Amino acid sequence: MDTALIILAAGKGTRMNSDLPKVLHPIAGEPMLIHAIAAGETLDPAKTVVVAGHGADQVTAATQAYDAAIDVVVQQEQLGTAHAVAQARGALEGFDGTALVLYGDTPFVQPDTIARMQTAGQDHDVVVLGFKAADPGRYGRLVMQGDTLERIVEYKDATDAEREIALCNSGVIACKADLLFSLIDAVGNDNAAGEYYLTDIIALARARGLSATAVTCDEAETLGVNSRAQLAEAEAAFQARARAALLDDGVTLQAPHTVFLARDTVIGRDTLVEPHVVFGPGVTVESGAVIRAFSHLEGCHVSRGATVGPYARLRPGAELAEHTRVGNFVEIKNAVVAEGAKVNHLSYIGDAHVGARANIGAGTITCNYDGVMKHHTHIGSGAFIGSNTMLVAPVHIGDGAMTGSGSVITSDVEDDALALARAPQVEKPGMARKLMEMLKAKKAKQQRGS
């Protein structure tokens, strides 16, 4: 059966004490909302609807930057979780499958847990994800009779006896979409908060003779982010899980707790990652590469056998072919470095193609930006770029060509040519000594005078 995701993201997040809507605060470099959407996407949903409210424009922009096909509906007033889900009704008009409700501030529900809810949904009309809380605090409590979930009681409305229940509501609910909206129609707001509680649909379903149950998961998965402290905990929890997964996959992390990963980081087997490396979104590293200490990578691809760093920065569009070397204090952006090429020291290579086996001397810079537009630099295969060459783009250096150290290259260089573009050297015999004597005499005169 088809699945649709409804992701609640309208809340203000007062305790974040921020101008940014809570669900856009990043974990591993990406809004927590995107983590929640991606968790649900493992079900391959037919449709995804995000319910935005506070900061709706920003939430819409972030959602659509991730996937333009996602519907964003706006809940003008935050009247409660049932009211929030009701906003998705129009977007799901004619949808005949199961709706899964997730919260944008609960980013870590695992694919396997969602799959277990789907399985439970084969035998039950409503399935809720619960967890045993170490400190149940203000969570809603699940009132069970054997395997049957009878109702959910919100903390504010619970009796002392109900508050003793440790099984809590995560907020994740799965239910046939038409049934979900029909139950929500019956939800009122006569409760301690004066809100339309989504959790009321359980008792309403039971009163109609329908079945409801709970699937449980580890508390770490249902970790909700309400404050900066919880955001930091969520980051730590994410990183711990991502590092452990890489180690299991055969990647060596010399100091795992110093390596930071993104949701989509892919690193191949037998790659070595030295301490203090940061992976931003969109990085793939093939097997057998070496990422040396203090490197920063985002939006790039590193091929088998390549060596990066120490202290290298790979920015979006950096594509390193096999057995390339990118060394210390080198920045690569939107550039292909072809097989076996070396950029070992202190260079900026942007909007460029570096040919196979080319050698880029220390301090070389592609001057790609004229203040208004970006221009391309082509460096042919086997080219030798002398140290401290400025390549003023657009410019084409032929295969096997050379540039002299310190050259400012403004015109194309043909294959196998040597280009020199610097002032010729002038030598004045004895002049250095004369100059020193003159300066020393001047200083002595000043000291006598003072």
Q: Regarding beta strands 98-103 and 167-176, do their DSSP bridges make them parallel or antiparallel, or are they unpaired?
A: antiparallel
Shortest Å distance, C-beta 112 to ligand UD1: 20
When binding is defined by CB under 6 A, the residue of 4, 5, 10, 180 that contacts ligand UD1 is 10
Three-state DSSP state, 205:
helix
Nearer to ligand UD1, 9 or 217 (CB): 9
d(CA 269, CA 297): 18
At 198, list the tokens.
Answer: 């989504």
When binding is defined by CB under 6 A, the residue of 63, 169, 216, 381 that contacts ligand UD1 is 169
Catalytic annotation, pick one of 54, 276, 345, 375: 345
224 binds ligand UD1 (CB under 6 A): yes
Binding mask 43-82 for ligand UD1 (x = CB under 6 A): --------x-x---------------------x--xxxx-
At 357, list the tokens.
Answer: 């086996």
Round the CA-based radius of gyration of the chain to a whole number and report it.
30
83 binds ligand UD1 (CB under 6 A): yes
d(CA 365, CA 124): 64
386 binds ligand UD1 (CB under 6 A): no
Footprint on residues 105-134 left by ligand UD1 (CB under 6 A): 105
Kindly state the DSSP code that residue 252 receives in the 8-state scheme: E
Number of residues near ligand UD1 (by CB under 6 A): 28
199 binds ligand UD1 (CB under 6 A): yes
Binding mask 231-270 for ligand UD1 (x = CB under 6 A): ----------------------------------------
Nearer to ligand UD1, 223 or 289 (CB): 223
C-alpha pair distances (Å), 159 with each of 131, 134, 191: 20, 19, 13
Shortest Å distance, C-beta 203 to ligand UD1: 12
Percentages of the chain per state (helix, strand, coil), in multiples of 5 = 25, 30, 45
When binding is defined by CB under 6 A, the residue of 9, 50, 72, 338 that contacts ligand UD1 is 9
241 Cβ partners below 8 Å, 6+ apart?
none
Residue keyed to tokens 């909302």: 33
Is 124 a catalytic site residue?
no
DSSP 23-34: GGSEETTEEHHH
Angle between helices 56-66 and 32-41 (to 10 degrees): 50
Which residues are tagged catalytic? Answer: 345
Binding residues (CB under 6 A) for ligand UD1: these are 8-11, 51, 53, 75, 78-81, 83-84, 103-105, 139-140, 152, 154, 168-171, 197-199, 224
